[in-house]
Amino acid sequence: MQFDFNKETTREGTHSVQYEGTEALFGVGGLEPFWIADMDIETPETIREAIKERLDNGIFGYTIWQNEQFYEPIKHWWQSRYNTVLSDTDIHYSPTVLFTAGEALRQVTKERDGIILTTPSYNKFPSLIESNNRKIVESPLIYDKDLKEYFLDVNHFTSLCERDDVSMYIHCNPHNPTGKVWTREELQTIKDICAANNIYLISDEIHMDFVRPKEDFVSLAALSEEGDQVLVASCLGKTFNLASIPHSYFVTKDRTLTKTLTEVTKEVYNVGNASSLALAAIEAAYTECNEWVDQLNNHILNNFEYVQKYIDDNLSQYLSLDIPRATYLGWISFEKSGFDAELVHKALVEVGGIAVSPGKLYLDYENKHFRFNVASSRARIEDGLIRIKKTFDYLYNERDKGSA
């Protein structure tokens, strides 16, 4: 079956953060949003049907997650898609990925401890660390201009792990915002360095299903052994656009932390029961939507190729994009334009009428990037690109006037 990812969608009346939350964030109304990481693409019909069937039961009381409707689909997905065998005891429900990361951080580390992030970094990690009175310790990724890839500075990372005040590393695979996919060898190196220095390793793998080709995705769960201080957090929110149906899961062979996390989730926060709609969605998604995800990845790749060609044909003196091997988030550089970053971000909003995420949100200090979400119909992407072109043409003309 061929799925249509170009279908027009609407968020009207849904209180969507992407649409109704943009003005508060950017200070201007009427912007076309491409910033948040959710999709203008409908959840597959198979999942919607499963949710409807569950709705027809009419009762939505407290729901247990420790059952085959939770374990079996997750095990099936990981084995059939990523050749990774998980057992029931390795998989645990949690309300959100950031809840898991935040609670693991509170359980494993002490106030004022250093937590390593590779930078640029997903913007919620720094706030998670600082709001928990820990400090951010940066391991800047190195960009190789020839290979067009970001790499870990292994020596620097090792020296950070050796510090007495550092106790955790929050890893992101695939990496948001750069789209880097970490190889098995890189993961093994990171895991070994962390283990040798007693650094707890959290791996956020929420974008795992957007690795193209899917065979290239290796989870840290696949490298974990009994008792390892490694925890992987993921969910279906990104892949199937289910962010507003609360659910996530984590995978670990650290039984000590598992016990604490499940107890705290249940007893301290009282959020230890599952959403009945999420269980129905997980079952349908992870057992019946393999082909849909493959076709979605092709659509996203086509969109990226379109964006790249548009840039090459119309904006090559200002912009460059390396098509990422994962995620639906383009990390577009405007370094070669020479334009001041603040001017660019202001003009994108005021001239282009477009809301994209500025690089500095991701601890990209030069602020020479913006993040552009391509998980939409082609028509929306075309509109976004016209807005970007309008912005850079304006900046060019203004510079010309200034130098005349």
Ligand X SMILES: Cc1ncc(COP(=O)(O)O)c(C=O)c1O
Instruction: Name the residue nearer to ligand X (CB basis): 318 or 362.
Output: 362
Could you tell me which of 296, 334, 288 has the C-alpha nearest to residue 41?
296
Using CB under 6 A as the binding rule, whether residue 37 contacts ligand X is answered as yes
Residue 233: CB minimum distance to ligand X, A: 8
Rounded-to-integer distance, Cα 139 and Cα 116, Å: 7
Task: Report 241-280 residues binding ligand X (CB under 6 A).
Answer: 243, 248
Instruction: Give the residue with the Cβ less far from ligand X, 160 or 233.
Output: 233
CA–CA distance, 336 with 155 (Å, rounded to integer): 29
Q: Are strands 91-94 and 248-252 parallel, antiparallel or unpaired?
A: antiparallel
Is residue 122 involved in binding ligand X (CB under 6 A)? yes
Q: Closer CB to ligand X, residue 311 or residue 326? A: 326
98 part of the interface to ligand X, by CB under 6 A: yes
- Stated as kind and residue range, the H or E segment containing 329 is strand 329-333
CB of 108 to ligand X, least distance (A): 18
Residue length, the chain?
A: 404
Chain positions 157 to 176 lying near ligand X, rule: CB under 6 A, are 172, 176
Q: Is 237 in the site for ligand X (CB under 6 A)?
A: yes
- Residue 402 corresponds to which tokens in the numbers above? 């200034």
Among 97, 161, 261, 278, binds ligand X (CB under 6 A): 97
CA distances 88 to 127, 253, 266, Å, are 32, 11, 19
CA distance 117 to 106: 16
- Cα 235 to Cα 154, 218, 250, 279, 396: the distances in Å are 29, 16, 8, 12, 43
Question: Do residues 210 and 297 make contact, with C-beta atoms less than 8 angstroms apart?
Answer: yes
Q: Is 206 in the site for ligand X (CB under 6 A)?
A: yes
Nearer to ligand X, 248 or 391 (CB): 248
Q: How many residues bind ligand X (CB under 6 A)?
A: 13
Closest CA relative to residue 345, chosen from 321, 322, 364, 326: 364
207 versus 395: smaller Cβ distance to ligand X: 207
Q: Does 96 bind ligand X (CB under 6 A)?
A: yes
Q: Does 40 sit near ligand X (CB under 6 A)?
A: no
235 binds ligand X (CB under 6 A): yes
Q: Would you say 75 or 175 has its CB closer to ligand X?
A: 175
Mark the segment that binds ligand X (CB under 6 A) among 81-89, 96-104, 282-290, 394-402: 96-104
Residues lying near ligand X in the complex (CB under 6 A) are found at 37, 96-98, 122, 172, 176, 204, 206, 235, 237, 243, 248
